Homo-oligomer: A and B are copies of this chain.
Amino acid sequence: MPVNLPEIVPASLTPIQGIRLGWAESNIKTQNRKDLLVIEICDGSAVSGVFTQNRFCAAPVTLCKKHLDAVKNNATTGGNVSGIKALVVNTGNANAGTGEQGMLDALTTCQHLAEIMAIPVESILPFSTGVILEHLPMDKLLAGLPLAVTNLTTDNWADAASAIMTTDIAPKAYATQVKVGGESINITGISKGAGMIHPNMATMLGYVATDANITQSLLDSMTKEIADLSFNCISVDGDTSTNDSFIVIATGKSNAVAITSPNDKGYQEVFDALLETSQYLAKAIVRDGEGATKFITVTVKGALSIDEAKTIGFSIGKSPLVKTAMFASDPNLGRVLAAIGYASRECDSLADLDTNQLELYFGGLLVAEKGGRAASYKEDEGQAIMNEAEIDITVQLHRGNEESTIWTCDFSYDYVKINAEYRT
């Protein structure tokens, strides 16, 4: 079961004016499950995305980037809106490592949806998640599209969260609201992902919508910043998938004032609420990490740069030895220290890290300093912290003022089981 991930309450997922969602059961990989999602976006919305950095990026990711560029360069859509009118997401098949046929399949999907919805083909962003290297079953997928469109409603967020799951145990959704100048701004989002999770990006999809009125260029920079503080701070297994995508939509339907620059009234509140939503959805992926029994937060402070802090955080958070020790509730400080020590492999500035200066904490408990176990440390106190389902690890480097937090989970028998049996 996911680690401390509350069940979603459909009624709490506030509809976002200008967004309708529709799903279908199109039998792409499994019978009788929601596996196709269409998100309709009203005219005048800003839409921003960040995508996997995997060189083997999937066909739909390539097409997403192309369509985002195409509509941005189309003068008729204006500079403050994206021109994107629909997203289409299938689960069960990632359409990755599928060569030219894969590109054609992604394009055909968009073309069919464009006809059904009577919108331009380049106004559609396609997404796929699931098994790699298999061609999409196009007949099933195309047959599902009209059903999903017929199905479009504003209050379908919970179903949408279910429709994009792969090895996820639980659907992931979050909603929040802020007031700006007395007017409400709503934010609702969904995500999926459980394995092949590592930043930039992971086998994950994240969609966050708000009715705030945000200009396209500002939403672009906000989306990048938010991704770096949420989805790019999680790791389940260190694998970066071919399909990861994170999309933020601002429909502008709220009555609150438009936000056009970081200095505008409401900017900070909306940024914080988008970040809160995105961090919740990112952490939900880790809580539902394949085989996860622990949710682990690693914070590295006192670094010379955010890169140093993040590299050490992920060095701890990716270490199979640390993660198996966490699974065993074993306060094995040695493995954590070893992972700190070898982080210099991936960050040159750490070559002069003085391990005698740093402090390591489990929860609030000082466990190591001066190059070894803290004199005050008692194993039973460390054990008590490890027994919890939520474990905080903090490293204070004492060499600068930058810090970073990453989230990860433990490494269990079930991780091996799930991934050894996934295709069978």
Across the interface, do B338 and A242 meet the contact criterion of CB distance under 8 Å?
A: yes
Q: How far is B240's CA from A339's CA once the two chains are assembled, in angstroms? A: 7
Name the residue on B nearest A291 (C-beta): B416
Known A-B contacts A238-B320, A345-B200, A419-B325; A338 and B132 likewise in contact (beta carbons under 8 Å): yes
State whether B342 touches A240 (Cβ < 8 A).
yes
Interface string of A392-414 (1 = CB under 8 A from B): 00000000000000000001110
Q: What is the interface of chain A, defined by CB distance below 8 A to chain B?
A: 53-57, 94, 96-102, 131-133, 195-196, 198, 200, 237-242, 318-321, 324-325, 327-328, 330, 332-335, 337-346, 350-351, 353, 355-356, 368, 370-373, 411-413, 415-417, 419-424
Given contacts A55-B353, A242-B338, A413-B413, contact A423 B321 (CB under 8 A): no
- Pick the contact of A239 from B94, B319, B372, B420 — CB < 8 Å? B319
Partner of A132 from the list B334, B350, B416 (CB cut-off 8 Å) is B334
A337-B133 in contact given A238-B318, A239-B321, A330-B424 (Cβ < 8 Å): yes
Residue of B with least CB distance to A352: B55
Which of B338, B343, B351, B419 touches A241 (beta carbons < 8 Å)? B338
Contact present for A412 and B423 (CB under 8 Å): no
Given contacts A419-B320, A419-B324, contact A372 B102 (CB under 8 A): yes
Q: Which residues of the partner chain B approach A330 to less than 8 Å between Cβ atoms?
A: 420, 422-424
Copies of this protein, total? 2
B56 contacts A133, C-beta separation under 8 Å? no
Q: Which residue of B lies closest to A318 (CB)?
A: B238
Q: Is there contact, CB below 8 Å, between B334 and A57?
A: no
Are B320 and A55 in contact, with the CB atoms below 8 A?
A: no
Shortest Cβ distance from residue A405 to the other chain B in the assembled complex, whole angstroms: 20
Q: A341 contacts which chain B residues (CB < 8 A)?
A: 54-57, 240, 242
Q: A422 to chain B: which residues have CB within 8 Å? A: 330
CA distance A53 to B241 in the complex (A): 29
- A99-B334 Cα distance, complex, nearest whole Å: 12
For residue A188, give the distance in angstroms from its CB to the closest CB of chain B.
30
Interface residue from B337, B370, B421 paired with A56 (Cβ < 8 Å): B337
